[in-house]
Amino acid sequence: MPDKELFKQHISQQFNSELEEIRTQLLEMGGLVEKQINDAIVALIEGDAKLAEQVREKDDAINQMELDIDQECMRILARRQPAASDLRLVISISKIIVDLERIGDEASKIARRAIDLVEAGQAPKGYVECRHIGHHVRRMVQEALDAFARMDTDQAFSVAREDKSVDQEYKSAMREMITFMMEDPRSISRVLNILWVLRSLERVGDHARNVAEHVIYLVKGIDVRHIGLKRMEAEVRREDNPE
Amino acid sequence: MPDKELFKQHISQQFNSELEEIRTQLLEMGGLVEKQINDAIVALIEGDAKLAEQVREKDDAINQMELDIDQECMRILARRQPAASDLRLVISISKIIVDLERIGDEASKIARRAIDLVEAGQAPKGYVECRHIGHHVRRMVQEALDAFARMDTDQAFSVAREDKSVDQEYKSAMREMITFMMEDPRSISRVLNILWVLRSLERVGDHARNVAEHVIYLVKGIDVRHIGLKRMEAEVRREDNPE
């Protein structure tokens, strides 16, 4: 093989390993974020202020991961000038980490509410709903990351579909909490903590859906944000792949 | 001038006009988003369900602007392979539009609450606070866009600083609303609408701050997300510019 070819191959191997590296870093960040959601819910349900504090402390590490991965994406864009699917990978990663960081923020907010509830005394209601919706959205985050790892648009689509049912669960839980506050006004400020937790969980579902949409973009090259599930499904099922 | 040079110059002029075009589109989108926030607040305060409906209808147009600008950014990345400050401009734009779209979402949510309040009857309290914080965050959005248009890091920093005082105004308004709900439990579900509006406005402030941080990155090449105001100010005041 001529020297020049060897050099090219070398560059391309280096480039591939750089892409592989940011992919791995994203999945690591995702794993940590998923754990944060889980820990925040456990802290809430079990009234574990210490665990809640730990969740809040770990948020900095997640923020830092976002900055590090984003910087690496920018470095790759500037130096490698990737095209086609490589470009889509870098751009998708730089977008997914924004959603992961926001999920981390929501975990941290839930942890703060958990601490408030330990101090103010448990709310009289709402824990079952938080646990249920909490597990649901945590699974969505996990599946969205899985879809990314396996470039699986079917799974990504199924995450987007799940978001609909989370929204319904959220609305029904909210109605119940509001009724409860009216019946027992002394519990208002404690039940409000539960309301904020529910709201955070619903946002986590939205972010998981965003991640899933970025995965579809990554694999199919089609931007499926802001379109309905039906049109999204049609796009996912289409056989033609951009490369 | 030799043909090749002429050709290069031509390409570079075309490239510049493409960059100018997405810059202009972003400012247009920003202007629309700012108007949405303003209209949503007016609809709330004046109990104008028709205006609120218009805000909700216009949200689609904003979503579409996000998709269009983002697609153009991707096209530029793929075909022009920009470097240095051009690359930062494209990346900053693709990030700022995400925040602008979310501000649009919040305007739409506020409009929905305005409609709910027209149907359920006005809440007994909270409109003064919504108007006050609403004007505050709308001005932040405007100033963040201005900072982008003029590449003005001082103004961007001042937007980030404003976010702190919005957070305080928000907390104090929330406390007041909660006290009020306890005093008058029959008003709970109407006052909750005000609570959600306040929450949305606080989020708008966060997004305006994000836009401001992207402007600092664009001009200075430094990522100031997730750092305190003091460190951010030190970075903004630094004379050395990356190019």
DSSP at A173: H
**Sign of the CA dihedral A155, A157, A158, A163?**
positive
Is A168 a member of any domain? yes
Which residue range(s) make up the domain with B32?
A: 3-237
Nearest CA in chain A to B99: A98
Asked if residue B217 belongs to a domain, the reply is yes
Number of structural domains (chain A) is 1
Residue A242 lies in a domain: no
In angstroms, rounded to a whole number, what is the distance separating the alpha carbons of residues A98 and B202?
A: 19
Tell which wins on pLDDT, B39 or B6.
B39
Rounded Cα distance between B20 and B110, Å, is 33
State the pLDDT confidence band at B1, using cuts at 50, 70 and 90.
low
Model pLDDT for residues A89-124, shown as the tens digit of each residue: 999 999 999 999 999 999 999 999 999 999 999 888
pLDDT in tens, A25-58: 999 999 999 999 999 999 999 999 999 999 999 9
| Higher per-residue confidence, A144 vs B122 | A144
pLDDT at A242: 55
pLDDT score of B241:
56
User: Does the beta-carbon distance from A186 to B188 stay under 8 Å?
Assistant: no
Per-residue pLDDT for A241 more than 90?
no
CATH number for the domain harbouring residue B193: 1.20.58.220
Percent of chain B's residues with pLDDT above 90 = 85
Query: Is the interface score ipTM higher than 0.90?
Result: yes
In degrees and rounded to multiples of 5, residue A49 shows phi and psi of -65, -30
Nearest to B182 among A87, A188, A225 (CB): A188
Query: Cβ–Cβ of B182/A178 closer than 8 Å?
Result: no
Tell which of A226, A232, A235 to mutate to test the B interface (max B CBs under 10 Å): A226
Give CA separation, A157 vs A227, A241, B29, B151, in Å: 12, 16, 29, 40
Indicate whether A243 belongs to any domain: no
* Residue type present at position A111: A
The answer as to whether B145 is a domain residue is: yes
By residue count, chain B amounts to: 243
Is A48 inside any structural domain?
yes
Residues of A within an 8 Å Cβ radius of B: 60, 63-64, 66-67, 70-71, 74, 77-78, 81, 83-84, 87, 91, 94-95, 98, 178, 181-182, 185-186, 188-189, 192, 199, 223, 225-226
Mean pLDDT for B52-64 is 98
Q: Measure CA B131 to chain center.
A: 18
Q: Is residue B243 part of a domain?
A: no
pLDDT at B228 over 70: yes
pLDDT category of residue A243 using cuts at 50, 70 and 90: low
CA distances from A169 to A92, A175, A201, A220, B126 (A): 29, 10, 11, 31, 28
Q: Which of A200-209, B3-12, B19-28, B104-113 has the least mean pLDDT?
A: B3-12
Where is average pLDDT lowest: A9-18, B94-103, B142-151, B165-174? A9-18
- Contact (Cβ atoms closer than 8 angstroms) between residue B27 and residue B93: no
Q: pLDDT per residue over A165-217, tens digit each?
A: 999 999 999 999 999 999 999 999 999 999 999 999 999 999 999 999 999 99
The share of chain A scoring above pLDDT 70, in percent, equals 98
Encoded amino acid at A170, one letter:
Y
- The shortest C-alpha distance from B66 to chain A (Å) reads 10
pLDDT for A203: 97
Interchain pair A225, B84: CB under 8 A = no
Spatial distance between the Cα atoms of A158 and A95, rounded to a whole number of angstroms? 20
Measured between CA atoms, how close is A190 to chain B, in angstroms? 11
